[in-house]
Structure 1
Amino acid sequence: MTRVPLVPRKKGAARARDAGFAGTEPYVAADTGIDTMSGFLPSNRAVDSEILPNRDRATARARDLVRNNGWAAGGIAKEVDSVIGANFRPLLKPDWRALGLSSEWAREFKEEVEARWRSYAEDPRCLADTTRAQPVPQMFGTAYRTYLIEGEALGLLNWRPSRPTKTTLRLVDPDLLSNPMDGPDQARLRGGIEISRDGVARAYHFRQGHPEALWADTTDPWRWKRIARETRHGRPQVLHFFDKTRDGQTRGISRLAPIVERLRMEDHYSRVELQAAVINAVLAAFIKSPMGPEVIDELFSDGGGEGFLNFQSARQKFYGDNGGVKVGGARVQALYPNDEIGMVQTARPAAQYADFESAVLRNIASGLGISYEQLASDWTKTNYSSARAAMIEIWRGWSARRTAFARGFCQPFFMAWLEEQVLDGHIVLPAGAPDFHAFWPAYSRAKWIGPGKGFVDPVKEAQAAAMRVALGLSTLEEEAAELTGTDYGDNMAQIRAEIADMPEGTLHPMQESFAKLLGHNGGPQMTPED
């Protein structure tokens, strides 16, 4: 064997290591000899071993912060409003190429399905909700809010024969998903979910009542019901959406988990500063007596207690009887001989409070996936470029989460509803069309539309949208959904009706815009008849 010569150590290397700047491992991240890393010894565990034992406490803390912390409540509300909004709905795009059908059929099918979905989902009678409490868009918003706070959204697809549309959705509190009799987790039963050998969640166990409910007069908290993930032919029965970050994960963890500590500390610090400011405002001034501790001690030690009490009685009587002298309507307070007025120094909140709070909120905003300006509603240091850059970054994250939630929670519900519509004959497929269940995803393929991105500069945004369409990089349908959250088909139908109602010889604003565009480019001038 050949001996490898040792590399001579430089002078001062030992001192450098002692100071905590030199390591002994190739990766500093794995070195325990560095002072800054010596106490940082987390263990590698299975993902469910990390989440399930701590999930209930993390969820309870996240719920408490959202209830009582304004920043947490505001951050959650902003994301729900931006990702789901008030009218989260599908924009049907049946894959007519995969089905071997025509694009004309796809257009007619899209219009018919979307019209029936609107009647079902937006029904003010809330017949789509098993509990008849919310229409479908609001149920989606509630489910997404639950996902943000608790890490997962749960729903059950029920069948109610007495309703016009029998498919209904029931949102379920994640607390009810648990092992029967609160048993320990096992290899094939973890967090209330039965898992197959391939790692598939095949059934869910739901407690029939919350264990902490005030009405403890039933046995429901100690009864469980097993519900299969789907029926034999594939109709979904349980909707379970969460962020899966590692292989083997069966339950989700709150999105607030990484920032719970900072939210709690910021809340406590703000409360202490506010209390100090209130105390300073209440105790604005005080009266100082000329009798110090030495005088009082001398009076009592010499048996002069009566003298001290007489002195205090005289002072009290003086301040109680003396109403003060008024000059020009203002009262001049007279002081007892040798008394002085003292003022409380109002140095709170601390001068660094605003900067400190901004730094903490930036960390919290990053954890929530939004910008500091959005979380704090502070736009004082924002210009168009920075606002535009922030919107692009934040919108990219929101779009990804919207797509994931739509595919994992909303789309299976929509597929179950469409199945009922087809099987009951409300929506008729053309003769020779492929079997519905064999091409279920192709028939129900959809893009889900929520609130639009909005505008930082409306003129520039509209011009950029027109350029993307002109270059073939986008479509009018995509731009309408992206910028304003509207349906292009509905827009065009309304525009056609408005053009028909315009007085003779008057151009609709849309026609006028195109006329100006064509005239500017040297093209033919448009007439009202065009």
Structure 2
Amino acid sequence: MAFLFNIIERLFKRSGIEAGGGGDRWKGAAVLTAPQQQTLAARGASKARAAALYLNTALGNRIVECLASALVGKGWQARPQHPDPAERRALSEAFEAVTRPIMLPLARGVVRDGEAFVQLVVGEGGTFRPKLLAADQIDPSLTRDLGNGARIVAGIEFDAADQVVAYHVLRDAPGTPFATYSAAVRVPAQDMLHIFDTLFPGQVRGLSWLTPVLLKLRDRDEASDAMLMQLKVASLITGFIHDPDGSAAGFAAEDGTMNVALEPGAMRILPTGADVTFSQPGQGLAQAIEFLRAQDREIAAGVGLTFEALTGDLGEANYSSARVGMLEFRRRAEAMQQNLIEAQFLRPLWKRWTDVRALAGELPVTPTDLADYHAVRFVAPGWAWVDPQNEVTADVAAIAAGLKSREEVVAGRGRDIDELDEERARDTMRPQAAEVPA
């Protein structure tokens, strides 16, 4: 009895910090002792698997498209702060024309591959073109010590002060048709933008946003396929005839063949001891479907989406729950917008773009004038209204109370307040249609 009590006591006793303890329950658990190295080692496999699930599974595709559209939406607006309104409009339109073609592919790359690289190509005559590169085109196999503290890690070159000074780029992306192997080209850091979410200090390359759910996504897709095949097979209703004496159990036709056709209203008289049973397809399907829904919720949580956004299933959603989930998703999306798209892509791209145009003689080159061209604000894409009437009423009240400005509200809708005021002015000045006499 004492021995049993000691076992129970050891099972339920808790002391110290369990996360740092040992025991059988921690056997086989994954640990990250060197996250910088381990994320780098896992980058290639997770990227390739995420790309396959993106193209081959409905949920994988949905995750990438939802998160990418949340990052860039219908497009970002550049709002130059130049004092000349005409110059502001020209700069905004020219910059958006440069960035618009690559914004959505870039966002897909950030989510699916974990990172995106944009090479800033300056051609003859000062032509400027941002070129989106495949992630593996920055040579992930190139790692070596350059001496005196400088080094190359996975194609990215650092100096002794741990600053990125260059990227080593393959001439062709791996797998490109007719590509030939050649040494990587060293591209200065000022001509390359690297967009990725840093998970750990010292992390060099990005990790796919699907990493937390890749294994579960694959298992979930295989389970769904298995259930579908099971249902297709089970739907072929099968009858089993039990005939103890071998007399065909009343199913023998006049010509001696077996007639087991199922016809509406048919009556069969079976001899004593014989019976017929049928398979029952679809048993347990409801429980399996509910289990898959639970897996979908875990997958949604792992990638920062709501269950409704991941599956498109609004059957259990109501207005309050949908709004709470959407607000939480927007909070994370806005953080990624500001820290990735604006800070790592748009702002450095704008500065490089204006500098190149100034060097090409397209913009004034005096320090004062160039500072006016460097000044810019970016307006993220707005979110669709959930409850237009109540939200507009709340915004109007906030503006009247001095809690918000018109510019803040308009920017939150993804609009440029200058464009909005111009449109309103045109509406005011537009002559009213002449009344048609009765």
3-state SS of paired residue (1:188) = strand
Within the candidate set 167, 189, 194, 2:128 is matched to 167
Partner of residue 492, structure 1: 421
**Is 1:444 matched up with 2:434?**
no
Partner of residue 512, structure 1: none
For residues 111 and 266 of structure 1, what CA distance do their matches in structure 2 show? 50
Within the candidate set 37, 51, 62, 1:63 is matched to 51
**Is 1:246 matched up with 2:200?**
yes
Question: Which deviations, in whole Å up to 9, do the C-alpha atoms of 1:393-441 show, x marking residues without a partner?
Answer: 1111111111122220222222222223344454458xx86263xx48x
Q: Taking structure 1 as reference, are residues 190 and 284 closer, same or farther at Cα in structure 2, changes over 3 Å only?
A: same
Question: Which deviations, in whole Å up to 9, do the C-alpha atoms of 1:447-489 show, x marking residues without a partner?
Answer: 2322x21112111100111122222332222212313x22222
**Is 1:474 matched up with 2:434?**
no
**Is 1:258 matched up with 2:212?**
yes
CA displacement at 1:225 relative to structure 2 = 1.1
CA displacement at 1:265 relative to structure 2 = 1.8
Q: Taking structure 1 as reference, are residues 335 and 255 closer, same or farther at Cα in structure 2, changes over 3 Å only?
A: farther
For residues 502 and 16 of structure 1, what CA distance do their matches in structure 2 show? 88
Under a length normalisation based on structure 1, what TM-score does the superposition of the two structures give?
0.71
Q: Greater relative contact order (Cα 8 A, min sep 6): structure 1 or 2?
A: 2
**Is 1:417 matched up with 2:353?**
yes
> Which residue type is aligned with residue 161 of structure 2?
D
Q: Taking structure 1 as reference, are residues 16 and 434 closer, same or farther at Cα in structure 2, changes over 3 Å only?
A: farther
Q: Taking structure 1 as reference, are residues 332 and 15 closer, same or farther at Cα in structure 2, changes over 3 Å only?
A: closer
For residues 391 and 116 of structure 1, what CA distance do their matches in structure 2 show? 34
Partner of residue 299, structure 1: none
**Is 1:85 matched up with 2:73?**
yes
3-state SS of paired residue (1:254) = coil
Q: Taking structure 1 as reference, are residues 221 and 495 closer, same or farther at Cα in structure 2, changes over 3 Å only?
A: same
Structure 2: gaps spanning 5 or more residues? none
CA displacement at 1:242 relative to structure 2 = 0.9
> Which residue type is aligned with residue 377 of structure 2?
A
CA displacement at 1:496 relative to structure 2 = 1.5
Partner of residue 285, structure 2: 350
For residues 191 and 271 of structure 1, what CA distance do their matches in structure 2 show? 38
Contact 2:77/2:416 (8 A) holds in 1 = no
Contact 1:150/1:255 (8 A) holds in 2 = yes
3-state SS of paired residue (1:61) = helix
Question: Which deviations, in whole Å up to 9, do the C-alpha atoms of 1:354-406 show, x marking residues without a partner?
Answer: 32222212211112112112112222333332222222211111111111222
3-state SS of paired residue (2:368) = coil
> Which residue type is aligned with residue 460 of structure 1?
N
For residues 315 and 105 of structure 2, what CA distance do their matches in structure 1 show? 32
3-state SS of paired residue (2:194) = strand
For residues 12 and 108 of structure 1, what CA distance do their matches in structure 2 show? 86
Question: Which deviations, in whole Å up to 9, do the C-alpha atoms of 1:221-264 show, x marking residues without a partner?
Answer: 3432111112xxxxxx1111111122221111111111112111
Partner of residue 398, structure 1: 333
For residues 94 and 175 of structure 2, what CA distance do their matches in structure 1 show? 41
Contact 1:167/1:420 (8 A) holds in 2 = yes
Q: How many residues of Structure 1 are paired with residues of Structure 2 in the alignment?
A: 425
Q: Taking structure 1 as reference, are residues 195 and 467 closer, same or farther at Cα in structure 2, changes over 3 Å only?
A: same
Under a length normalisation based on structure 2, what TM-score does the superposition of the two structures give?
0.85
Contact 2:53/2:61 (8 A) holds in 1 = yes
Q: Taking structure 1 as reference, are residues 336 and 156 closer, same or farther at Cα in structure 2, changes over 3 Å only?
A: farther
> Which residue type is aligned with residue 278 of structure 1?
K
Q: CA RMSD in A?
A: 3.5
Contact 2:151/2:158 (8 A) holds in 1 = yes
Q: Taking structure 1 as reference, are residues 371 and 324 closer, same or farther at Cα in structure 2, changes over 3 Å only?
A: closer
Structure 1: gaps spanning 5 or more residues? 1-10, 95-104, 122-127, 129-135, 231-236, 297-307, 507-530
Q: Taking structure 1 as reference, are residues 18 and 334 closer, same or farther at Cα in structure 2, changes over 3 Å only?
A: same
Within the candidate set 345, 359, 362, 2:297 is matched to 362
For residues 107 and 291 of structure 2, what CA distance do their matches in structure 1 show? 31
Q: Taking structure 1 as reference, are residues 336 and 276 closer, same or farther at Cα in structure 2, changes over 3 Å only?
A: same
Identity among equivalent positions (%) equals 22
For residues 428 and 177 of structure 1, what CA distance do their matches in structure 2 show? 35
3-state SS of paired residue (1:466) = helix
Partner of residue 44, structure 1: 33
Partner of residue 189, structure 1: 152
Q: Which has the greater radius of gyration?
A: 1
CA displacement at 1:93 relative to structure 2 = 4.1
Within the candidate set 152, 155, 165, 1:202 is matched to 165
For residues 422 and 41 of structure 1, what CA distance do their matches in structure 2 show? 53
Partner of residue 434, structure 1: 368
For residues 223 and 337 of structure 1, what CA distance do their matches in structure 2 show? 84
3-state SS of paired residue (1:66) = helix
CA displacement at 1:268 relative to structure 2 = 1.6
Within the candidate set 225, 233, 237, 2:185 is matched to 225
Contact 1:276/1:348 (8 A) holds in 2 = no
Partner of residue 19, structure 1: 11
